[in-house]
Each structure stands twice: as C-alpha cells, then as structure tokens.
Amino acid sequence: MFGFRLYLYGLFITAGFVLAGVYMYVRRDMLKLTKDNVLDLIILAVPCGLLGARIYYILFNASQYIGPGKWQNIIMFREGGLAVYGGVIGGAIAFYVYSRIKKIPIGKLLDAAGFGLLIGQAVGRWGNFFNREAYGVGTDLPWRMGLTTNTGTIYVHPTFLYESLWNIAGLAMMHYFSKKTERKYNGQYFLFYIAWYGLGRFMIEGLRTDSLFVYGTDIRVSQLLAALSLAVAVLLLVRNRLRGYAITTVAGIPDPEPVLAFEGASASECAADADDLWTDDDFESCDDSPANDGSDAVSPEDPEKDPDPSDDDV
C-alpha cells in the first residue's frame, strides 16, 4: 500500500493499541479520567511506548545496532526489535511527566495503563505468530506449534500464545473486580498488572529461544526484570493491604499534589472517596475539624459563637 508492504505483525500491534484505547475511553468514568485525559494518554503512549521498546532492545542487543555500518539499523523499525518492558518503561515516564503537568495523581494514570497494556499485549503477541518469532524450545505437547524450516518441520512451545492467554486472564480478573468494587487507592490496578505480568513473564521467558541476556552472563534480562517487578509489586500490594487505607505514592513516586481534606467533611466521607488518596494527616484533619466533633461550626461573623481568644492554641 502506497509503496509499503504491510506486515501482519504491525497490524496486530496497531490493533492492540486501538483496542486498549477504546477500552480506556469506554471505562473512563471508572478510571476517574476525562475524555481529554484518555485521548492525551493514547497520543502519548504510542510514540513513547515504541521509543522505549526500541531503546530497551538496542541496549541489550547492541552488537546489531552500534558500530560502523550499523547505525542506520536503529531506525529500521519495520525489521523488528521491540521489547515489551522497554515500552512499559517509556510509557510510564511519559505518563509521569503528564501527571506533573496536569496535576493528576500518577497512580490514576498508571491504573488506566494497566488495563491498556494487558489488552495491547494480548492482541499484539499474535503478531509474533505471523512473524515466526517469540516461540519456545521444542516440545511434544498436544498444543505444540509447527515451524517449517529448510531442514524440515520442528515443533515448539507457542510461547506467544501462553503470554496472550495469560494477559487475557489477567484482564478478565481486573475487569471483574473493577466492576464489583472500587479501587482502594490510585495505582492498585497497575500494581496488580505488574505482579500478574511479572509472574507470567518469569515462567514463560524460560521457554523462549530468543531472549536477551545480561552481558557476560546466562541471566535472561526479561526474566530478571519480571522477578524484580513481581517482588516489588507484591510487597507494595501487601503493605497497602495491611495498612488498610490509601497511600499517596505508588512504588515511591509521589503524587503531584497532596490531597487535602474537604472542609466540613467527616472522616468516613473522606475515607469513602475512592477518587482521592489519603494519608494519616488527612484523616486527622477530617477528625479534628469543627464540623465533625458534634459542635456547631464557628463563623467569624457570629460574635456570640466566637470562642475566647485565650482558648486558642499558641
């Protein structure tokens, strides 16, 4: 088309982006985002995600891109060379910058990204099938995948399929729970995504034959990162669960602005607001407010109710 050959790999990647964007747009009310927020995130996610995925792949496969006569390969996106974790990192950085500009809690944006990433990866992985890549070692299992080579047909683990089904299962659980109950704090869905994807990627990566390795070792980069991300996400999920209230940070990243207690709101009303993040100080500010201790609120314009200045704290 227009002098370019269309690849099914690219079409599936594009379809993944589109479906992820549609899902986030349809469920924007649940995610507490506006239409403009969702459209902005989609516009940011595509270039930043692709750029991050490309840089990540090049860093761990430098021999193909760095050196005399190889530099031009860096911009040859059509020949492949993208890494999922790089895309996640690139998108997360872009979302963080956007959150600082728009004064939106970063956790709220990352929650939307969690749903989008599961959809995008579930669909995009089928591009690996048509590209004859991202498959595993040989196997005799009934669901094996056959690949025709110059020497005959080999049967391998369809690791692309494993990851696609794993992401669909994760999306189904997140969708179900988001319908049944509201998130306890911004970033909860994203932490679940990180934990879920990390667990699946750690297991599946060990079967693949095209893994990137840490220089000079037999350690698979994606497997190592999957294990670390799984451990951190589970730790944060458990910590937040034990604390029993919302936090103002997600994985140590502070929100753009601390959420302040609404004037005249009760502590229970503060705690019930699923859209906001609360700290211990916020709860104390609710409990200590005059409107919540059972007494009449004091108005500066009512001299009869104005307390004795001597009773004020110094």
Q: What is the pLDDT of residues 25-52, one digit of tens each?
A: 999 999 999 999 999 999 999 999 999 9
Per-residue pLDDT reduced to its tens digit, 179-227: 999 899 999 999 999 999 999 999 999 999 989 898 889 999 999 999 9
Q: Residue 125: pLDDT band by 50, 70, 90 thresholds? A: very high
Per-residue pLDDT reduced to its tens digit, 248-283: 444 444 444 433 333 344 444 444 443 443 333 333
Predicted confidence at residue 6, as pLDDT, reads 77
Predicted confidence at residue 245, as pLDDT, reads 55
Q: Is the pLDDT of residue 308 over 80?
A: no
Per-residue pLDDT reduced to its tens digit, 65-113: 888 888 888 887 767 788 888 999 999 999 999 999 999 999 999 999 9
CA 131 from chain center: how many Å? 26
Predicted confidence at residue 295, as pLDDT, reads 44
Per-residue pLDDT reduced to its tens digit, 134-180: 899 999 999 999 999 888 899 999 999 999 999 999 999 999 999 99
Cα gap 242→74, rounded to integer Å: 46
Report CA torsion sign: 9, 199, 115, 83: negative
Rounded to 5°, angle at Cα 107 from 102 and 111: 110
Q: Residue 118: pLDDT band by 50, 70, 90 thresholds? A: very high
Which position has the token pair 């047909």?
A: 153
Cα gap 129→119, rounded to integer Å: 17
Residue 88 contacts residue 54 (beta carbons within 8 Å): no
Predicted confidence at residue 3, as pLDDT, reads 63
For the entire predicted model, the pTM comes to 0.75
Strands 145-149 and 152-156: what pairing? antiparallel
Per-residue pLDDT reduced to its tens digit, 295-305: 444 444 444 44
Predicted confidence at residue 264, as pLDDT, reads 40
Which position has the token pair 């060990």?
A: 206
Query: CA nearest 201: which of 222, 220, 184, 215?
Result: 222
